[in-house]
Amino acid sequence: MVPQTRLHTRHRSLPRFLVIGGLATLAHWGVMAQLLHLGTGPYLATGWGALTGLVLNYLGQHRLAFRSTLRHRVALPRYLAAAGTGWLLNLGAFAAALAVLDTVALAQVLATGGVALINYLIADGFVFHEQSSQDLP
């Protein structure tokens, strides 16, 4: 059972998590669009866009969504591991949904929704979870 204070924290951090993630996604797409407009190749453009979104999302989640006091040397490696896990989960969910639906956009929407929830639970329970860092130097 989740303690009442954890439920209260989750209730407040989930909307912030979703807004910050959405803004980071828009930043990714914005950087990508600008670089494509300037003639950059699509792989390099999406790579720089994704890196921009990753950095903005990490900083926003750390400071605003979870209001974490973890040092970056603890939180950042956890975040990168979670981001990699989320990327793999998204790829798997997308592939499964696409095989059933045969519609790219709907498959991605379903994968994104499911993975966003899992990413939130990982961020809340592991990445920015204060108590799990007590044993670290």
Q: Per residue in 3-37, pLDDT tens?
A: 555 555 566 899 999 999 999 999 999 999 999 99
SS (H, E, C) the chain: CCCHHHHHHHHHHHHHHHHHHHHHHHHHHHHHHHHHHCCCCHHHHHHHHHHHHHHHHHHHHHHHHCCCCCCHHHHHHHHHHHHHHHHHHHHHHHHHHHHHHCCHHHHHHHHHHHHHHHHHHHHHHHHCCCHHHCCCC
Q: Per residue in 106-127, pLDDT tens?
A: 999 999 999 999 999 999 999 9
For the whole model, what pTM was predicted? 0.81
Domain positions in the chain = 1-67, 70-137
